[in-house]
Amino acid sequence: MFGSITLSVIGCQNLPFPSASSAPTPVTIKLGGWTASPAEQKLLKELLQDFEAKHPNIKIRHEVINDQYMDVMKTRLVGEAAPDVFYLDALEAPFFMSQNVLEPLDAYITPEFELVDFEETLLESFKYNNHIYGLPKDYSTLALFYNKKAFAAAGLSTPPTTWEELRAYSNKLTLDRNRDGRIDQYGFGEIPELARQAYKIKAFGGQLVDQNGYAVFASDAGLRGLQLAVDQYQKDHSSAQKSDVGTNSGSEMFGQAKVAMVIEGNWAIPYLTETFPKLEFATAELPKINNNKGTMFFTVAYVMNKQTQHKAEAWELISYLTGKEGMTKWTKTGFALPSRKSIAQKLGYDQDSLRTALVAGVDYAVPWQVGEYPAAITNNFDNQFVSALLGQQSLQQAMQRAQDEANELIKAIAID
C-alpha cells in the first residue's frame, strides 16, 4: 500500500500543478421570458449583469420570446429544450404545475429567504399539492383611474365608492350626447374581457370554474355582476369600448380624454405620464359591488424547469431576482409593483398617491386564474360577452353559449 502511494507521488513530480488562475468553467443558465417594453428589457439586462458580477461561476443567456410565448414553452418542455428558468403567468400556472414539468422550490427556500415577506395572495397562485412552484417577481391589481379636470367640470370632487355611484358619475361625465348624436366624452371606458369582469361575477357569489376546472360563470350570481356592464352600455349609453372611440386600449382612450374614467393596472401609470404629460389624473380603489370590495391581480413568477441539469445555479438566479436586492432594483422605476411587502414599503408605494389604491387591493383581489384550460374559457367568454354588450343576444344566452362551448372544448382536451 505504501509503495503504491510513493510511486504515485514520484510519478507526479514532473507534472505541472494547476495554476491559481485556472478557474472552473462557468455554468450557463438559460432564462426565458417576454418583454413589455425596451425600458423593461434594458432594466432586466442590468439586473442580470449585477447577478453575474456577484456570481462569476454563472453566466446567463437571456432569451426573449414575445410571440406565442406559452405555446413555444410547452413545445420546448416536451422536447426537453426549455430554458432552465422562465417566466410563468399565473393564468397558465395551474396547467404547468399539474404536468410535472416544474421543479418544486420548497427544498431550496431557507428561512433567510423570508418567504413570509411575499404577499400571500400572490404566492397562492403558484402553489399546487402543497408545493411552491414559482416565486412572483411583481404584480398589479386594478384601480379606478379618473380625469381630475373632467371631474371638476362636472362638479365631482371625490371618486365613486360604489358601482351605483360610478354609474351616476358616468352619466354626469358623458358630454354632448344630444347635440348632434356624437359623444365627445364618455363617462366610463369598458373593457369586456373576463380578465376585467371576473371580480364582478365574484361580487354576487358567482364562480369562474368549478373544482373540476369546468366553466360555471353563467350562473344567476355571475349574470348579476355582468349585467352591470351591459346596463350601463346599453341603457345609460355612458360607457364605451376602445373600438367605439378609435383607440387600441383602455389606457389610450383615457389618455386621449375619450373617457373620464377607466379601470386599469399599474402599467398605465408610466404610459400615461410619458405619453400624455398634460393629463391630470388620480386613482382610487374600485367601487364596491353588492357591498363587496373587489379587484383583480395579475402576477408572473420565475419557475425552474424540472429537467434542468443545473438546479443549484438556477435557484441562485431565482433567489436573486426575487430576493430583496434584486426585487428592489427591478421595481424601483415604478413600472411594476414588488411582490415583497418590505420592498413596497421601502420604495414608498403604499404611500404613493397613484399607487396606494393598487397596493391596497392586493389583500382582497381575485387572482387571474381560470383552471388548467384558460384559453378555452377566456376565448369563449370574451367573444360572447362582446356580443351581449352590443345587444346581439341576451346576456343569459351569450353566457350560457360561452360556458357550454368552453366546457365542450375542455372535455375534448381532457379526453385527449
Q: Would you list the DSSP string of 283-339?
A: EEPPPBBTTB---EEEEEEEEEBTT-S-HHHHHHHHHHHSSHHHHHHHHTTSSSB-S
What pLDDT is recorded for position 415?
Answer: 74
Are the beta carbons of 203 and 225 closer than 8 angstroms? yes
Residue 2 lies in a domain: no
Residues 177 and 69 in one domain: no
What pLDDT is recorded for position 1?
Answer: 37
Mean pLDDT by 10 residues, the chain (416 residues): 35 44 81 90 95 97 94 91 96 96 97 97 96 98 98 98 98 80 91 97 97 96 98 97 96 98 97 97 98 98 97 98 97 94 96 96 96 96 98 98 98 82
Which of 348, 367, 386 terminates a domain? The answer is 367
Residues 52 and 77 in one domain: yes
CATH number, residue 169: 3.40.190.10
What pLDDT is recorded for position 79?
Answer: 87
Residues 241 and 344 in one domain: no
Residues 111 and 177 in one domain: no
Helices (H) and strands (E) in the chain, counts: 17, 12
Residues 312 and 406 in one domain: no
Residues 223 and 305 in one domain: no
- C-alpha span between 259 and 51 (Å, rounded): 44
Residue 221 lies in a domain: yes
Q: Would you list the DSSP string of 19-58?
A: PTT-PPPPEEEEEEE--SSHHHHHHHHHHHHHHHHH-TTE
Q: Which domain holds residue 354?
A: 27-140+297-367
Return the C-alpha cell found at 262.
377607466
Residue 8 lies in a domain: no
> 276: burial class by Cβ within 10 Å (0-12, 13-18, 19+)?
middle
Domain count for the chain: 2
Which of 351, 367, 383 terminates a domain? The answer is 367
Longest dimension (CA), the chain: 108
Residue 1 lies in a domain: no
* Crossing angle between the packed helical segments 311-321 and 324-331, to the nearest 10 degrees: 50
Residues 113 and 218 in one domain: no
Residues 210 and 65 in one domain: no
What pLDDT is recorded for position 5?
Answer: 34
Residue 21 lies in a domain: no
Residues 266 and 209 in one domain: yes
Residue 17 lies in a domain: no
Residues 253 and 145 in one domain: yes
- Enter the pTM of the model: 0.91
Residue 129 lies in a domain: yes
Closest CA to 362 of 10, 64, 86, 123: 123
Are the beta carbons of 133 and 104 closer than 8 angstroms? yes
Residues 206 and 185 in one domain: yes
User: Where are the strands (E) in 41-126, listed by range?
Assistant: 58-64, 85-89
Residues 148 and 34 in one domain: no
Residue 330 lies in a domain: yes
**At residue 105, what are phi and psi to the nearest 5 degrees?**
-100, -5
- C-alpha span between 82 and 122 (Å, rounded): 25
The neighbour count for residue 396, using CB atoms within 10 Å, is 14
What pLDDT is recorded for position 177?
Answer: 63
Q: Which residue type is seen at 72?
A: V
What pLDDT is recorded for position 178?
Answer: 57
